[in-house]
A and B are shown apart, each in its own frame.
Chain A
Amino acid sequence: MPSPADSPPAAPSALELGRQLQSRFGEAVSGPVEFRGEATVRVADPGRIPEICAFARRELGFDFLVDITSVDQGETAPRFTIVYELYGFTHRQHLRLTADLPEENAEAPTVTPVWRGADWLEREVYDMMGIRFAGHPDPRRILMWEGYPHHPLRKDFPLEGRPTDLPEVAFTLPAPLEGGPFVAATGSPHATDREPRARRPLRADPGSPNPAAAAARSLAFPDAAARARGPLPGSRPGGPEPAGDTLVLNMGPSHPATHGVLRILLELDGEIVRKATPDIGYLHRGDEKIAEHMTYAQFIPYTDRLDYLAPLANNVAYVLAVEKLLGIDDRLTPRCQYIRVICCELARISAHLLGLGCFAMDLGAMTVFLYAFTEREKVYNLVEALSGARFTASYTRIGGLARDLPPDWTRQLRQFLHEVVVTIDDIDRLLTRNRIFVDRTRGVGAIPRDMAIDFGLTGPNLRASGVDHDLRRDHPYLAYRDLAFEVPTGTAGDCYDRYLVRMEEMRQSVRLLHQCLDHLPDGPIDIPDGKVVLPPKRQVLTRMEELIHQFMLVTQGVNAPPGQVYFAAENPKGELGFYISSRGGGVPHRLKIRSPSFVSISLLPHLLPGLMISDIMAVLGSLDFVMGECDR
């Protein structure tokens, strides 16, 4: 296994790359600032962002747009900050670009010409924060529905969307659910008239305190009347115009193969998909908004519900991000690190089993699904013994873990590992050389390498496209540095490759787990620091200082320094990243979740056209997304 020292020694550091950017653009770019090992470059003139991004991509090798985030600075002017997280696969460096936008002119030029994947990321920023992107090909809302008058992540939007008692200082209008696209009209015999979107859009709300709302509406409904009767809202950038004789099929949000509440509007020519428009947000819970209203530790249970097939891995990724902000990620005890790796890999096996099981089920192979679920049941038993909960584990704590491994747990895990290998082999025998399965997956939904990078695909999906990128190996966190594993990559990037990569990743996870169990160190699981980790209950009850620590941690949360960090972990679905912007104190000022599923779904409009209806299931199943994580 290559350690970080194996990366080319000549590779420039992120700071050097930031300086190159500055020397190229002069005043437009401020010098790189380092915090927690990350370089941040401020762009003075937001109008030059595309130019700077293009240079960063073409000349500096930042070919991967990780995420676009926005921060509402509240009272401080300029009000908004837009944050671009960049990464380069060749030099393995991370760079952050930030730009400030004033409230009155919250507009930035789009970077979609540089990275096609910016399309959905910018739509989300617009939807949640109200920052517009000039030149964006498809400036529609994405999580909220068209016509929704507010931008929920703005600081003046209350947590629950309810009116407050302070009408002059805060948001006063109820967040309108009525008029959303959820209520079907009744009465008409024709489904097209009952379709909620067939109704006229919401009227402009004259009393709205939000000046961007009117602008948002004009953006959301450029030709509202025509669109209301038209076959599909929005259009795929560059896609063919809908022909007159296509069949519009509404797939989802409750459809057996959409794995949750994904809705895809399909234009069909017979069985062949001409155009596919995913519609997400049905599971949007405002996790990022919620995070701004609670302490860092209180948000851990919410991370369970992101990729709810791998809660343990989400917990680990989140607390590692907080620990990075606190600067304590290198002080974790060895035992804690190993147990967290066990959590991640167990979650990976569980998530991949479900992903492959559902994939096979969607293709009609019911038996594989039940084989996989038998093994997942054993994982749930292990998780239950570990954390007390089968599904939403919330096992990690900032600086440590909820509790140590229960007695006999390692033996049970060993036994599970011996059993799961048998099941993986069974699945292998049932599918890998099955003619029907191969016919349905090979050459279907192929994502070429360039496209995968352009869209910011991560995880097994990226590796199936032949990009050799695994955060566990390239940026080893926890104990991954000490463990040996291989990173499987595909060649064609089709559904079959994604299947093969996941199968091999499960085997590698088994291998990792065996190593973890072999080398599991003894010792404490928590950092011995009362300002980070809750002291033992007995000490809290008997000693003054511990009582104070406990009181402060519970009421105020850990005291984080001001600053911004981004941490990403290699989760089963891909790179789950947390961007935290802190102003100090126990509550994040802004927390952005970089969701791999969101990115996977953003590829659908480009993958599905030309395929058949049955192939949609293969593509959806092989992309293996979770709507809980996509919609957040």
Chain B
Amino acid sequence: MNMEGILALTGWGGLRWVGPVELFERGPVWLRDWAVGWLPEGAKVWAEGLIPAVAVLAVFGLLFGLATVAERKLLGRIQNRPGPNRVGPYGWLQFAADGVKMLTKEDVVPRSADRVLHFLAPIVMLAPVALSLAVIPYGRDLVAADPRCGLLFFFAVGSAAEVAAFMAGWSSRNKYSLLGAMRAIAQMISYELPLVLSALTVVMMAGSLSLVEIVEAQSGYWWGVIPRWHVMTPWGLAGLLLFMAAAAAASNRAPFDLPEGESEIIGGFMTEYSGFKYAIFFMGEYFGMFAVSGLAVTLFLGGWQAPLAVLEAAPSYGWFFLKLGVMIAWFIWVRGTLPRLRVDHLLNFGWKYLLPLGALNLLVAMVWRGLGGWAFPGAGAVRWLACLAMIGLPAILWGRLLMRSRGWGPRVYRYAS
């Protein structure tokens, strides 16, 4: 084998010598083109849609399995215990054992349940979430579908999860399920707004709804070292924090896992689900977490862009999944640390805190753009700090004010006599 490159079948075009960088970067695309090329003309258009879909589902299906193990292992680390460590090397095949267990479990359907809705709910939960994975660019030219309104598509299909949660809760004919469904709907609808608002900031700045273009808008480096990711701007940083808070709520993750709230309402809308249907719900939740994490990476963390110019040799999808992994680890870390919110606190937090700050962040982004013309020495730093203060100070003060409105001073507690 030649050290400069290897012989590769670049699509249907033919053989040529390519370097390893190009091979890994372009490999998935060539593979798709090569496979499509075998098919008759009429089937090509179908295959071009199906092959990425299968690839995305396969990759995220595997990631789902690994993420469940990673979550349990990381939580174990946080909690001074080993976590799963029996199946496979270091327990990493635990998900396969879990899958077999879930598949072979009895599927219990309550006698009084609405069987059709009860059956459909997990599918309705999983399918839209899987659809929303289609518009996320995983690497350079690696996107299953790139509609010009990708972001809109993402939020549109993502909101179907509410329907699924309600279907599950209602059809189970269980009061705990119903309570869970009520909570799920209240929560998902409330948190959709701050989620969309913080994404809107990015749309405004990037000037496009297409996620591919949003990633491209974040290419390049300031002074050759700092990547031009949105998170490196004050409004992007604030937007990411707002987005992740809202994303945790929208995907029912701790500390916003009230719809499940296993210590309160048993399992919420999933109470009456068992076996594989439960596994599908579980999968839907994880896919939802992947989707919002992927969106956060795309919107704020530069998508598949490498953090440094010298690191661009690594394949772009590698960077994407690395960032995705960081996001997932963040979700797990939060889950291991925080208690659960109460319903009214959750809604207060969404409507009274996240939403106003999200709106303010739009304004900050506008100011950021408006101040872009400054050209005196140190203008960049002044602009940065000014915009950070514009969003940071209100965030702190508003939080304090909300806390003070409850009239709580510090609690002194004393020893008797």
Beta-carbon contact of A374 and B80 below 8 Å: yes
Beta-carbon contact of A190 and B79 below 8 Å: no
| Bound complex: CA A435 to CA B415 (Å) | 25
Which among B93-101, B222-230, B255-263, B366-374 touches the partner chain?
B255-263
Count of inter-chain pairs, beta carbons less than 8 A: 130
B343 interface residue (CB < 8 Å to A): yes
A580 interface residue (CB < 8 Å to B): no
| Bound complex: CA A492 to CA B265 (Å) | 28
Asked whether A612 and B80 contact (CB < 8 A) given A257-B263, A497-B413, the answer is no
Beta-carbon contact of B338 and A436 below 8 Å: yes
Interface residues of A in 236-273 (CB under 8 A from B): 247-250, 255-257, 270-271
Tally of chain A residues near chain B (CB < 8 A): 55
Name the contact of B112 in the complex, choosing from A191, A256, A500, A504 (C-beta under 8 A). Answer: A191
Note all chain A residues with C-beta closer than 8 A to B258. Answer: 614
B85 interface residue (CB < 8 Å to A): no
Note all chain A residues with C-beta closer than 8 A to B265. Answer: 613
Asked whether A612 and B415 contact (CB < 8 A) given A364-B254, A430-B337, A442-B408, the answer is no
Name the contact of B336 in the complex, choosing from A366, A486, A501, A616 (C-beta under 8 A). Answer: A366
- Closest chain B residue to A621, Cβ basis: B263
Asked whether A487 and B79 contact (CB < 8 A) given A360-B339, A363-B339, A614-B343, the answer is no
| Bound complex: CA A189 to CA B111 (Å) | 6
Q: When A and B form their complex, which 5 residue pairs have the shortest distance between CB atoms, in order from nearest?
A: A364-B340, A468-B416, A365-B339, A370-B79, A189-B112
Quote the shortest CB–CB distance from B75 to chain A (angstroms): 8
Beta-carbon contact of B338 and A365 below 8 Å: yes
| Bound complex: CA A145 to CA B231 (Å) | 63
| Bound complex: CA A370 to CA B257 (Å) | 19
Quote the shortest CB–CB distance from A503 to chain B (angstroms): 10
Tally of chain B residues near chain A (CB < 8 A): 45
Beta-carbon contact of A256 and B416 below 8 Å: no
Beta-carbon contact of B413 and A500 below 8 Å: yes
Beta-carbon contact of B416 and A487 below 8 Å: yes
**Residues of chain A whose beta carbon lies under 8 Å from any beta carbon of chain B:** 2, 189-191, 247-250, 255-257, 270-271, 360-367, 370-371, 374, 430-431, 434-437, 439-440, 442-443, 463, 468, 470, 486-492, 496-497, 500-501, 504, 612-617
Note all chain B residues with C-beta closer than 8 A to A463. Answer: 416
Note all chain A residues with C-beta closer than 8 A to B175. Answer: 191, 247-250
Beta-carbon contact of A612 and B343 below 8 Å: yes
Note all chain A residues with C-beta closer than 8 A to B174. Answer: 191
B411 interface residue (CB < 8 Å to A): yes
Note all chain A residues with C-beta closer than 8 A to B254. Answer: 364
- Closest chain B residue to A266, Cβ basis: B175
**Residues of chain B whose beta carbon lies under 8 Å from any beta carbon of chain A:** 75, 78-81, 111-112, 173-176, 179, 182-183, 254-255, 257-258, 261-266, 335-345, 403, 406, 408, 411-417
Note all chain B residues with C-beta closer than 8 A to A436. Answer: 255, 338-341, 345
Name the contact of B338 in the complex, choosing from A271, A364, A492, A615 (C-beta under 8 A). Answer: A364
Q: List 29 A-B contacts (CB under 8 A).
A: A250-B175, A255-B266, A257-B263, A270-B182, A364-B255, A364-B263, A364-B340, A367-B75, A370-B79, A371-B79, A374-B80, A374-B81, A436-B339, A437-B339, A468-B416, A468-B417, A487-B415, A487-B417, A488-B415, A489-B414, A489-B415, A489-B416, A497-B411, A497-B413, A501-B413, A504-B413, A612-B343, A614-B340, A617-B264
Note all chain B residues with C-beta closer than 8 A to A367. Answer: 75, 78-79, 336-337
| Bound complex: CA A437 to CA B337 (Å) | 11
Identify which of A190, A435, A500, A615 gathers the most chain B CB atoms within 10 Å of its CB. Answer: A435
Note all chain B residues with C-beta closer than 8 A to A374. Answer: 80-81
Quote the shortest CB–CB distance from A508 to chain B (angstroms): 9
Note all chain B residues with C-beta closer than 8 A to A271. Answer: 179, 182-183, 343
Quote the shortest CB–CB distance from A495 to chain B (angstroms): 12
